[in-house]
Amino acid sequence: MNTAIPIPPLAEQERIVARIEELFSQLDAGVETLKKTKAQLAVYRQAVLKEAFDSASGTECKIDDVCKQIKVGIVVKPTQYYVSSDGVFAFRNANIRRGYIDGCEWVMISKEGHEKNRKSEVHSGDVLISRSGANLGMASPVSKRFNGYNAIDVVIAVPNTEKIIPSYLAHYTNSPMGRSIVKKNERGAAQGHLNVSVFGKLPIVVPTLIEQQAIIIEIEGKISVCDSIEKTVDTALQQAEAMRQSILKDAFEGRL
């Protein structure tokens, strides 16, 4: 099908192009500022965690000592269990972020596959740690919402809640101290990989439960402000992309 395209005189074309580039330049400057703000927020988060755990005092032990179990999700051909519906959702490394679960890209395994792999079923209060990829070493506690999901190739730590609060373990793993230890102990030349046994042997300082709760409240109070700002920044970035399209639309409809 042929579509008629209005072609203004060259002088008008040049004016439109110049105006588009001027507006895009202003938009790009704003986007760059927003991206810098996001980067600064990431630095701030790490500073909050560093301060909290640098000042923590308590028993020095290994993560193994404060967990009932540390295991790994399905590692042998997990794709054989994949289904598109009527199954059980399963975590992958991509779903685990620092302190929260990203629920955008779930996979689903069959109910039969879930039954065969009950040992990797996830429960609320567990802590999940990404084993590989861009999210290597990122940790998040599991909320009630995800109780009963399965997991694929991620570390599943089951904290002994008489000794350690799940959120404390997750925040510690995400802290600069935890990240540096994980990085130092990752395996694999081509792609870093965190072994279950290695994670269990990582050192950790464990205060009393009351002190742990106080540290968690302090961390989450500060990070919640950071999260709110980041949400605003993300919204502005989405609006910037929409504005870019709007500029082009206006330009070719003769409204610039």
Nearest to 75 by CA among 151, 23, 128: 151
- At 254 the three-state DSSP class reads coil
Q: For residue 104, what pLDDT is reported? A: 81
pLDDT digits (tens, 9 = 90+) for 21-35: 999 999 999 999 999
Q: How confident is the model at residue 190 (pLDDT cuts 50, 70, 90)?
A: low
> Per CATH, which fold does 59-206 belong to?
Adenine-n6-DNA-methyltransferase TaqI; Chain A, domain 2 (3.90.220)
- At 95 the three-state DSSP class reads helix
Q: Which spans in 175-208 are helix H?
A: 176-185, 196-200
Q: For residue 206, what pLDDT is reported? A: 96
Q: How confident is the model at residue 191 (pLDDT cuts 50, 70, 90)?
A: low
- With 0-12 / 13-18 / 19 or more C-beta atoms within 10 angstroms meaning exposed / middle / buried, residue 190 is exposed
CA atoms within 13 A on the CB side of 71: 17
**Per-domain residue ranges for the chain?**
8-57+209-256, 59-206
Please give the model's pTM, rounded to 2 decimal places.
0.82
**Best CATH choice for the domain 8-57+209-256 from the list 3.30.420, 1.20.81, 1.10.3470, 1.10.287:** 1.10.287
As a three-state string, the secondary structure of 213-227 is HHHHHHHHHHHHHHH
Tell me which DSSP letter residue 156 carries. Answer: E
pLDDT digits (tens, 9 = 90+) for 68-113: 999 999 999 999 999 999 999 999 999 999 889 988 889 999 999 9
Identity of residue 236: A
